Amino acid sequence: MSYVKYEQKDFVGIITIDREKSLNALNPEVLADLEAVVDAIDADKTRCVIVTGAGKKAFVAGADIGAMSTMGPAEGRAFSANGNDVFRKIEKLPMPVIAAINGYALGGGCELSLSCDIRIAADNAVFGQPEAGLGITPGFGGTQRLARTIGVGKAKEMIYTARNIKADDAYRVGLVNAVYPLDQLMDEAMKMAQRIAGNAPIAVRQCKKAINMGLQMDIDTAASFEPEMFAACCGTQDQHNAMTAFCEKRKHDPFIN
C-alpha cells in the first residue's frame, strides 16, 4: 500500500498525499512513497504536475509529530535531510509543479507547498510553521524557502511566532497566487496545468530553469545565463511552427503533438 497516489491525465500528473486519517502527515514511509512517485514521473509525457492532499481537511498537516517525538540529533538530522532531499527533487522537476492546497498546510505541509512552483489554495487552507512551538526548527526547507517566497520579515514573523495564517492572509502576503472555494480548487488547478501544458514544452522548461537557477546567481551571471536558455529554444520545431504561423497571420496549433 502506498501513501502517495499518482494519476496521469493527458499531459498533467496529479500527486495526492493519501494518509487522510492523520491529516496526510509526513512520516518516513510517506516521504519514501512520495520520493518513489516523483522519481517515476515520465518527463516525456508530463508537462505539469499538481500536488494535493487526500480529503477535504488537509493538504499536509506537517511532519509526523509522533514519529519525531523520540528522535535524537542523529535521527533528527537524517529525517530533516531526507525531507529536504525529497522536496528538492520536486523543486528540480523539469516541468512546473502546482500545489493545490486543500486545507491545513502546516510545518512540512507548508514546506511541501514551497517546493512547488505555484501555490493555489482553497478557502479553508491554513498555513503555518508551528515548529518553534514544538521545540524544533522547520526541517524540510521552511527556514530557507519561506523567506525567499514572502520576504525575510514576514517569514521570520511566521516562524518565530509559530502563528498560523488563513488563506486570505496567505494571499495578501504572496504565499499563494489565488484562493478558490474548496470544491473548485482541483478544477482551477487543472485549468492552470492544462494552460501550461498547452504551451511549448521546451520553452516552459527553459523558463523554469532560467528563473530557478537565475535566482541563485548575481544579476550579471544571471543575465548571461538567460541567453543560453533562450538559445535552447531557438531552432526547435515548436519555435519554427509558432513563429511562422504568427508571421503568416495564421492561428498556431496548440503544442500537443
**What is the contact surface with ligand CAA in residues (CB under 6 A)?**
22-23, 25, 61-66, 83, 104, 106-108, 111, 130-131, 134, 138-140, 142
Burial (CB count within 10 angstroms: exposed 0-12, middle 13-18, buried 19+), residue 159: buried
Sign of CA dihedral 103, 107, 108, 114: positive
> Toward ligand CAA, which CB reaches closer, 19 or 205?
19
In the numeric block, which cell numbers belong to residue 147?
A: 523567506
Burial classification of residue 64, based on how many CB atoms lie within 10 Å of its CB (0-12 exposed, 13-18 middle, 19 or more buried): buried
Nearer to ligand CAA (CB atom), residue 69 or residue 257:
69
Find out whether 85 and 79 touch, Cβ atoms under 8 Å.
no
Nearest CB to ligand CAA, comparing residues 45 and 163: 163
- Give the strand order in the sheet containing 12-17: 4-9, 12-17, 48-53, 97-101, 118-122, 178-180
Q: Are 77 and 32 in contact (CB under 8 A)?
A: no
Grouping H, G, I as helix, E, B as strand and the rest as coil, residue 92 is coil
Amino acid sitting at position 95: M
Closest to ligand CAA by CB, 4 vs 192, is 4
CB of 151 to ligand CAA, least distance (A): 20
DSSP state letter for 224: H
**Shortest reach from residue 189's CB to ligand CAA, in Å:** 22
Q: Which of 91, 111, 226, 248 is catalytic?
A: 111
Active site residue 111: yes
Minimum Å gap between C-beta 57 and ligand CAA is 7
Least distance in Å: CB of 125 to ligand CAA? 12
| Minimum separation from the CB atom of position 120 to ligand CAA (A) | 20
Q: Least distance from C-beta 233 to ligand CAA, angstroms?
A: 37
Nearer to ligand CAA, 104 or 180 (CB): 104
The catalytic residue among 91, 131, 228, 248 is 131
* Of residues 53 and 130, the one with the C-beta less far from ligand CAA: 130
How do strand 165-166 and strand 126-128 relate by DSSP bridges? antiparallel
Q: Which residues 6+ apart lie within 8 Å of 204 measured at CB? A: 47, 95, 96, 196
In this structure, which amino acid lies at residue 246? F
Catalytic residue numbers? 111, 131
